[in-house]
Amino acid sequence: MNRFDVTGKTAVVTGAGRGIGKALALGLAEAGAKVACVARTETDIREVVREIQQMGGTAFAIQADLTEDAAPEKVAASVMEKWGRWDILINNAGMNIRKQALDVSTEDWDKVVDLNLKSTFRMCQAAGRIMCEQRYGRIVNIASVAGLVALRTGVAYGASKSGVIHMTRVLALEWSKYGVNINAIAPWYFRTPLTEKLLDDPAFLQEVLSRTPSGRIGNAEDLVGPAIFLASDAAAYISGQTIAVDGGMSVYGF
């Protein structure tokens, strides 16, 4: 038996329209999972669904703004109506507003924390109700090394991702007895549509690379293997953990 196999499992990926979320949705589909692609921009996720279907996979799109109160229940209802069970949740939707701490407004703070932390919890809650009842589930929260170490111009982002990491521990404590494992992945800088402008600055890129022992920026595909592992039965005895996928950045020292 291949314990890394997710064939036939039903998965939800949030923020699936581009970047890391798109790579994770495509990766899960390639590994055999049926994938519900969730994002605010319907055209983006419909394109991801089309790519999955072209490779012979099964997928459908759910347009939702996860900061809206009704969104998690909408996702849950759509998945249950379509497939009758919910096996895997990848919480990837997130944002950042880069400002010095003295310049962060209440509106800035609320936007970042509402999407990165509050909506992640509410998606976990919606999935958890189903997964605990069916006595099986895998939840993978995309956190950040900014939740493990301090990064400049990221006070709200770092606080939200630290919250995701600790929330992951608490939910693991409560739900593991129901066969629901919940873990987190903490990426460093990856080249995505959200980071391209930053990484195109030679001085910024050099600073990032100087703190990355592997000497390179991550590609979105670098996250697919860890996510599939945590979503599979190969990780059946792992819960409440955070895996840093960061080229060694979080162990960097002088």
Question: What gap in Å lies between CA 240 and CA 171, rounded to an integer?
Answer: 7
Residue 3 belongs to some domain of the structure? no
Find out whether 31 and 6 touch, Cβ atoms under 8 Å.
Answer: yes
Q: How many CA atoms, within 13 angstroms, populate the side-chain half-sphere of residue 22?
A: 17
Residue 94 belongs to some domain of the structure? yes
Helix 119-134 to helix 71-83 angle (10° resolution) is: 30
Find out whether 21 and 194 touch, Cβ atoms under 8 Å.
Answer: no
The whole domain housing 15 covers: 10-243
Residue 4 belongs to some domain of the structure? no
Instruction: Look at residue 90 and give its three-state secondary structure.
Output: strand
Residue 251 belongs to some domain of the structure? no
Residue 2 belongs to some domain of the structure? no
For residue 126 the two structure tokens come to 């919606």
Residue 185 belongs to some domain of the structure? yes
For residue 17 the two structure tokens come to 């329209």
Buried-exposed string 126-148: b where 16+ CB fall within 10 A, e elsewhere? bbbebbbeeebbbbbbbbbbbbb
The CATH number of the domain holding residue 207 is: 3.40.50.720
Question: What gap in Å lies between CA 31 and CA 246, rounded to an integer?
Answer: 23
Residue 161 belongs to some domain of the structure? yes
pTM for this predicted structure = 0.96
Q: Please tell me the predicted confidence (pLDDT) of residue 232.
A: 97
Catalytic residue numbers, as ranges: 157
Residue with tokens 């497939």: 83
User: Distance between terminal CA atoms of the chain?
Assistant: 45
Instruction: Look at residue 98 and give its three-state secondary structure.
Output: coil
Structural domain count of the chain: 1
Residue 253 belongs to some domain of the structure? no
Q: What is the pLDDT along the chain (254 residues), one digit of tens a residue?
A: 688 999 999 999 999 999 999 999 999 999 999 999 999 999 999 999 999 999 999 999 999 999 999 999 999 999 999 999 999 999 999 999 999 999 999 999 999 999 999 999 999 999 999 999 999 999 999 999 999 999 988 999 999 999 999 999 999 999 999 999 999 999 999 988 888 889 999 999 999 999 999 999 999 999 999 999 999 999 999 999 999 999 999 987 65
